[in-house]
Amino acid sequence: MKWTLLALVAVLALLLSVVLGPAAVPFGELLRSDIVWNLRAPRALLAFLVGGSLGVAGAGLQALVRNPLADPFLLGLSGGAGLGAVLAIALHLPGPWALPIAAFLGALAALGLVYRLGLVGGASLDPRILLLGGVAIGAFAAAITTAIVSLADAAELRNAFLWLWGGLSGASWDSVLIVALYAPIPLAVLFAASRPLDLLALGEESAGYLGADVDEVKRRVYLAASLLTAAAVAVSGVIGFVGLVVPHIARLTWGHRHRSLLPAAFLGGGALLAFADTLARTVVAPRELPVGVVTALIGVPVFALLLKRWTIA
């Protein structure tokens, strides 16, 4: 029942984002319209894939760092990606793929640094150091980003600033295809880690005694979740709160078992971002809001409610 409902919500979110838009496409011509086929459809699908990836990455990382309030971007990836993107903008790198590739490389660099920091204590990743290292690397990258933006001219600055708040206007069938080929690998790694992630909620010592290879699980989950997030940020900028709020809502309904939690977080994250992007495109049409603004406007109140519930429980 709840799966049927979630699937309906997901389909509805996708349909809405194809039907609605600043250009009025008559209902009878939806299937023949260029706008629908080449702009709205790939954009809806990309939003869905990115949102789903962020939802799953968030759920996995929350179990890994043993903090239910962790967000995929907490681990420094947004800072690294932002720096890469702003560099690409400031250096006027040519071609449609320069910015996503630069952002992806920036995120990978941050991921590598944080991962290396997490290993300072030995072969076992320390979640506390991952969190602190992520915040530190993110702040460092953000400082450099701000320095570059402050030296840029006005138009560039606006582009960079908008990119940092996320947006899916660059969506194309190519980007959908790339994400659709890339994301299933880290997603499969995370889904395969469902049971050990359940155990990890008891603490690393207990998880080990119950049969989980804790060090291996932590490495896999961290790398897979980070690689998912890096791809998401490369194609759509920094979209906050999806990876934080969606796993929470999924937990309220599906409980804490990652076998059902992770698929629910994927569908829920996809639906939320497709819906948020529809709003971002339509509420101030013909202009467009960064989709991260919409997710934050939806996400922060939800988050506040969850926080209240969490402290009561």
Partner 1 sequence: MLRLSGVSYRYPGAPRDALTGVSLSVGPGEFHAVLGPNGSGKTTLVRIALGALSPLVGRADVDRRPASMWPRQDLAKLVGVVPQREDNLFPQRVRETVLLGRYPHLSLWGRERAADHAAVDRALAACDAQHLADRWLWTLSGGEYQRVRIARALAQEPKLLVLDEPGMSLDLKHEMGLFELVLGLVHTAGLGVLMITHDLNLAARFADSLLLLESGRPVASGPPAQVLTQETVETVFSWPVAMQTVDGRPQMIPLRQPKESRA
Binding site for partner 1 (CB under 8 A): 63, 66, 68, 192, 195-196, 198-199, 201-203, 205-206, 208-214, 251, 255-257, 313
Minimum separation from the CB atom of position 257 to partner 1 (A):
8
Nearest distance from C-beta of residue 312 to partner 1, angstroms: 11
Element holding 66 (H helix, E strand): none
Cα distances from 151 to residues 43, 87, 108, 165, in angstroms, run 32, 12, 25, 20
Helix (H/G/I), strand (E/B), else coil: 265? helix
**Quick one: 77 or 199, whose CB is closer to partner 1?**
199
CB of 201 to partner 1, least distance (A): 4
Comparison of 154 and 313: residue with beta carbon closer to partner 1: 313
Dihedral in degrees, nearest 10, Cα atoms 139, 144, 150, 155: -100
Q: How far is the CB of 60 from partner 1 (least distance, A)?
A: 13
Alpha-carbon distance of 69 to 245, in angstroms, equals 9
DSSP, res 138: H
Minimum Å distance from CB 260 to partner 1? 11
Nearer to partner 1, 97 or 257 (CB): 257
181, burial (CB in 10 Å: exposed 0-12, middle 13-18, buried 19+): exposed
Least distance between partner 1 and beta carbon 14 (Å): 28
Of 62 and 278, nearer to partner 1 (C-beta) is 62
Contact 187, 120 (CB under 8 A): no
Residue 299: closest CA among 10, 50, 51, 129: 51
Could you give the angle at which helices 258-282 and 184-192 cross, rounded to 10 degrees?
140
Is the Cβ of residue 256 or residue 288 nearer to partner 1 in the bound state? 256
215 vs 288 by CB, closer to partner 1 = 215
